Amino acid sequence: MTGGTQLWDPFDKAFIEDPFPTYAMLREERPVYHNEERGFYALTRWDDVVEANRDWATYSSAEGVDLDRTGSIFFGEGNIVEQDPPSHDIFRLVLTDFINPGFVRLQEEDVTRRVQELTDRLDGRSNVDFAGEYAMRLPLGVVCDLLGIDGSDHEWVFGRFVTMFERESGSTEIPQVALSAAAEVRDYLENELKSRRRGKGTGDLLSAIANGTVGDRPLTHLEQVGMSTLVISAGITTTKNLLTNIFWYMARNPELRSTVEERAARYAQPMIEEFLRFDSPIQNSSRTAMTDVELHGVTIPQGSTVTLVYGSANRDPERFDDADQLNVTRRVGKHMAFGGGVHLCIGAPLARLEAKIVLQHGLPQMKQFAMGGEPERVLKMNERGFESLPLVFDK
């Protein structure tokens, strides 16, 4: 055991590096696991995680979904992730009315252009931090354009975003530098939203939020800021983690890279679904039990924090054959990488589009690559990806 006396501690760096053996043990022996030191219960089996996602009346999001309270602290009001129906559904419409399937299809040309620009920057270079120079910059540009943030401000937003998610191994506390960066982002968005309310800019998501209504009233100032901050965070994090995970696996396995490249033209989407299942960018999300819950012989008391471990559910052998094998030729079907139920990720289609275009248009133009040093994993307790992914490219 590591992490003190606990079988699983999502804040412990050893578990962050490789949580999957522990997940397997918990699914088999402790499907309802109680971490007494951190004060939460964890569900790790597919059926239990799926049911809890569906049953928002029993497993509420309104008290927070992060064990370190990131969402409550950074986003506050307007954070639809930390709401239950019916208010959740009303607030969600502000975003889904804008980010709809037709809108996502129209982004393909812009995403392709950005992928080409980022891929061109790799030409002739041998040493690249793929996380910072490619995997984060692609969704950053996409989400900033989505919101209508001026191109001259993208680098500033990039720097603040990196700092917002700095974490210390083993700690539930958010570092002061991260809190300060989040406050700067909120102040910036507050000014942008004010200008939209005065009529500057139309057709972007910030304008839609600035003029958004919930029921028969306009969004409050704090709700607008919280929702906008959430869009930036969610719009960047998942795609960045997905891309760094994919390229980490390919850098360590040239045969996998060849298979992915050969199949990308026709089968990019099912391959992406397998990467999402196998190594989910978001590993867990928490809820609050609104009543006593009896499950697998364990009583979860009312008011308890219950963590739904998506990363474990996606490796459940009761759901997936050879669940611990990465097989990019399989047809995955439903998985939990983007959550489920009423909180299914709004930005999932955009993340899938970005990854697809990278595999179809970016990867074939890249020379052979391998690991160029020791990568640095994201230390945030519910994410799985890389803050730094040093790759060395053939010249």
- The model's confidence at residue 379, banded by pLDDT at 50, 70 and 90, is confident
Q: What is the rounded distance in angstroms from the CA atom of residue 227 to the CA atom of residue 76?
A: 8
CA–CA separation, 287 vs 226, rounded Å?
20
Of residues 306 and 166, the one with the higher pLDDT is: 306
pLDDT at 234 (0 to 100): 86
Tell me: the pLDDT tens digits for 204-240? 999 999 999 988 899 999 999 999 988 988 889 999 9
What is the pTM assigned to this prediction?
Answer: 0.93
- The predicted-structure confidence for 339-370, as pLDDT tens digits, reads as follows 988 888 888 999 999 999 999 999 999 999 99
pLDDT category, 4, cuts 50, 70, 90? very low
Cβ(222)–Cβ(78) under 8 Å? yes
Which of 29-38, 210-219, 266-275, 298-307 shows the lowest per-residue confidence on average (mean pLDDT)?
A: 210-219
Return the CATH number of the domain spanning residue range 13-393: 1.10.630.10
Kindly report the number of other CB atoms within 10 A of residue 283's CB atom. Answer: 27
**Where exactly are the structural domains of the chain?**
13-393
Q: DSSP letter string over 118-150? A: HHHTTTT-SEEEHIIIIITHHHHHHHHHHHT--
pLDDT band at 201 (very low <50, low <70, confident <90, very high): low
For strand 40-43 and strand 305-309, is the pairing parallel, antiparallel, or unpaired? parallel
Tell me which of 6 and 307 has the higher pLDDT.
307
